[in-house]
């Protein structure tokens, strides 16, 4: 018997099994069927026959069963998670379709076999624009039965909001009500989503492969000291600097934009990106990691009668309590989770009732910080108990106010410094950090956050209409710089508003120069406190309703940036009214017009 014949009778080595795996991955269905028949005619050990048969079964099933991943997110976070899931699933032989919810044909939903949804929650519990149609469809009368669909949902959110991950929770519940089978439990991700999203992906892949438990190799860089097999751990290329590895840089300049006597404090910041390799586009945001003020830390320590020098565990090391509170934990923002943990120590019936009522909870959280909570519901906490219940200090996102083509190696921001007094003097954690505690020589940690839903049109000849009162001007300053740098011929129309013309006309000289040069085709401003009757940007829109509608009819893009709770709602309603009036149609038709603008990405918002 020759050596080849002997090897057929011996168990497969690891290298041989890998060769078989590679071979199977290259086969189509017809080849798989032929090979299965061939195996039955050779003398392989039973264990190897079973192993290969199982591989054939999985491979055959994978080649026939497409997977759809739907993403509904206003930032790049959801997309990056979806790409990671897609890469790993494809490495296992699955056919994967990754689609933005905004582009997804809803008629396809009834035919989905495997559906994985990654969706964020915007503001106070509403879907992001990209997910609006999908959300309405599955909750409407035309939603199909999904008895042949298997699904899983990853919800993205922010625990500082009372309606944490509400959109994801709603979608998860509705898909099950429509008859779909949940193959892996929904996971709700806070702003630190990496670990939780990896766990979700691991769980899904294990279920698809018919395994019990998670595959620990999916995200491993090493395996027993050896480099992991690429088929086991496909790598999704990410930027060197990110939210989880911010770039350490310095402040170049800060300029107060408000005139003397203004009730507001709006500051223009210029930050270096030199040697970072970071590239941004107009519409993107910059994330900044602040630290808490010593005043707030001392107030908290005094309220609990704790010693600032007490050592507490911090990761693998120990630091003083004051150091940990300054650099690592949220003190100025209350969340339902923190209230719940705190009430485990206080055991207050009143606080329990607040937690049980979402309206009361929102009202209580608004404007209060941790010191307020301890003052109103006093208790004794150890340093360890205090640190254990607190949320990690989160970065703050600011719309970028510059074009990298105009200002290479730097990024500009337009930030309103938050200061107010109710029961005590308070200030915004990051805006006061930038204004008061950051000097030219001090290091600042930053990262870029892509905003896929707020971008200039790809056609340089397209017209744009921009509505940006207050600090909402930031991305539109970037838009104008970009269009000038690229010599875009499309018309530009800006609606800007603030309180007083004399003190609050942000970037006045720049905007007037743009208007004089013709880059800014039209500039309409509204200063609400300069007249007896308050005038806002939506009133200026109404004054020019006919021309605004004509711009839209001729293909203009419409953008809004600024406050979500009041301004955006008013601007959106005014837009509907203008379209109804100028088109001669009813409000229902005008709302459909606006809906189609959104769907074609000609209506984009960046609101907060």
Task: Report pLDDT digits (tens) over 37-52.
Answer: 454 444 445 555 555 5
CB 386 within 8 A of CB 370: no
Backbone angles phi, psi at 115, to 5 degrees: -130, 120
pLDDT score recorded for residue 292: 97
pLDDT score recorded for residue 54: 53
pLDDT score recorded for residue 76: 77
**How confident is residue 25, by pLDDT bands cut at 50, 70 and 90?**
low
Cβ-in-10-Å burial (0-12, 13-18, 19+) of 430 comes to buried
Closest CA to 421 of 359, 498, 369: 369
Alpha-carbon distance of 596 to 583, in angstroms, equals 15
The least confident of 158-162, 169-173, 359-363 is: 158-162
In this structure, is the dihedral angle defined by the CA atoms of residues 36, 41, 44 and 47, taken in order, positive or negative? positive
Gyration radius (Cα) of the chain, Å: 28
pLDDT score recorded for residue 141: 93
Q: Using the structure block, give the residue that is written with the tokens 């910041």.
A: 269
Specify the length of the chain in residues: 608
**How confident is residue 18, by pLDDT bands cut at 50, 70 and 90?**
low
Q: What is the mean pLDDT of residues 386-412?
A: 96
pTM: 0.80
Closest CA to 261 of 24, 499, 497: 499
Closest CA to 328 of 311, 314, 309: 314
**How confident is residue 192, by pLDDT bands cut at 50, 70 and 90?**
confident
Question: What angle (nearest 5°) sits at the alpha carbon of residue 389, between those of residues 431 and 288?
Answer: 25
**How confident is residue 33, by pLDDT bands cut at 50, 70 and 90?**
very low
Task: Report pLDDT digits (tens) over 270-297.
Answer: 999 999 999 999 999 999 999 999 999 9
Alpha-carbon distance of 598 to 604, in angstroms, equals 7
Alpha-carbon distance of 459 to 368, in angstroms, equals 46
CB 606 within 8 A of CB 454: yes
Task: Report pLDDT digits (tens) over 314-370.
Answer: 777 899 999 999 999 999 999 989 999 999 999 999 999 999 998 899 899 988 999
CB 353 within 8 A of CB 360: yes
Task: Report pLDDT digits (tens) over 489-537.
Answer: 999 999 999 999 999 999 999 999 999 999 999 999 999 999 999 999 9
Domains defined for the chain, CATH in brackets: 3-52 (no CATH), 65-222 (3.40.50.360), 294-389 (1.20.990.10), 464-607 (3.40.50.80)
Residues in CB range of 278: below 8 A, 6 or more apart: 239, 241, 247, 447, 448
Closest CA to 118 of 191, 168, 68, 159: 168
Backbone angles phi, psi at 301, to 5 degrees: -60, -40
Q: What is the mean pLDDT of residues 294-310?
A: 97
Task: Report pLDDT digits (tens) over 55-73.
Answer: 545 554 555 578 999 999 8
Q: Is the pLDDT of residue 591 over 60?
A: yes
């Amino acid at each position: 018997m020759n050596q080849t014949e002997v090897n057929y009778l011996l168990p497969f080595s690891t290298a041989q099994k890998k060769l078989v795996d590679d071979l199977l991955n290259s086969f189509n269905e017809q080849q798989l069927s032929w090979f299965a028949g061939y195996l039955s005619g050779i003398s392989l050990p039973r264990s190897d026959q079973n192993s290969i048969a199982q591989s054939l079964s999985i491979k055959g099933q994978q080649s026939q069963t497409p997977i759809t991943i739907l993403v509904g997110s206003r930032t790049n976070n959801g997309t990056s998670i979806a790409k990671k899931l897609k890469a790993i699933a494809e490495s296992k032989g699955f056919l994967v379709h990754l689609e933005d919810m905004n582009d997804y044909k809803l008629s396809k939903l009834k035919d989905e076999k495997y559906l994985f949804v990654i969706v964020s929650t915007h503001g106070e519990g509403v879907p992001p624009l990209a997910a609006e149609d999908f959300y309405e469809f599955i909750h409407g009368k035309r939603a199909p039965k999904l008895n042949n669909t298997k699904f899983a949902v990853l919800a993205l959110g922010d625990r500082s909001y009372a309606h944490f991950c509400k959109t994801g929770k709603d979608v998860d519940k509705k898909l099950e009500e429509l008859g779909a089978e949940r193959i892996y439990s929904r996971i709700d991700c806070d702003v630190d989503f990496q670990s939780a999203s990896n766990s979700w992906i691991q769980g899904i892949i294990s279920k698809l492969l018919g395994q019990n438990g998670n595959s620990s190799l999916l995200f491993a860089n090493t395996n027993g000291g050896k480099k992991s097999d690429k088929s086991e751990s496909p790598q999704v290329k990410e930027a060197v600097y990110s939210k989880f590895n911010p770039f350490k840089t310095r402040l170049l300049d800060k300029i107060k934009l408000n005139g003397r006597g203004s009730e507001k404090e709006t500051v223009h910041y210029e930050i270096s990106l030199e040697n970072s390799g970071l590239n941004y586009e107009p519409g993107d945001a910059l994330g900044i990691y602040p630290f808490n003020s010593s005043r707030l830390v001392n107030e908290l320590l005094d309220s609990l009668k704790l010693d600032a020098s007490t050592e507490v565990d911090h990761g693998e090391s120990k630091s003083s309590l004051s150091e940990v509170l300054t650099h690592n934990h949220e003190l100025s923002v209350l969340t339902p989770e923190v209230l719940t943990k705190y009430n485990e120590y206080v055991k207050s019936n009143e606080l329990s009732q607040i937690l049980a009522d979402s309206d009361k909870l929102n009202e209580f959280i608004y404007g209060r910080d941790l010191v307020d909570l301890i003052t109103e519901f006093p208790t004794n906490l150890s340093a360890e108990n205090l640190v254990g219940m607190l949320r990690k200090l989160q970065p703050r996102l600011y719309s970028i106010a510059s074009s990298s083509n105009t200002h290479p190696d730097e990024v500009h921001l337009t930030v309103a410094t938050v200061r107010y007094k109710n029961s005590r003097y308070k200030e915004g954690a990051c805006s006061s950090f930038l204004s008061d505690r950051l000097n030219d020589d001090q290091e600042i940690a930053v990262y870029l956050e892509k905003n896929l839903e707020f971008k200039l049109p790809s056609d340089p000849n397209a017209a744009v209409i921009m509505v940006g009162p207050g600090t909402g001007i930031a991305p539109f300053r970037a838009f104008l710089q970009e269009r000038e740098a690229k010599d875009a011929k499309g018309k530009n129309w800006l609606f800007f508003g603030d309180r007083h013309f004399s003190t609050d006309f942000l970037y006045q000289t720049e905007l007037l120069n743009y208007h004089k040069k013709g880059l800014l085709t039209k500039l309409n401003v509204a200063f609400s406190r300069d007249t007896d009757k308050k005038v806002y940007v939506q009133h200026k829109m109404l004054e020019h309703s006919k021309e605004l509608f004509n711009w839209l009819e001729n293909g203009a893009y419409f953008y809004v940036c600024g406050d979500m709770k009041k301004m955006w709602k008013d601007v959106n309603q005014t837009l509907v009214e203008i379209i109804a009036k100028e088109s001669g149609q009813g409000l229902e038709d005008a709302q459909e017009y606006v809906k189609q603008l959104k769907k074609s990405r000609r209506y984009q918002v960046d609101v907060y």
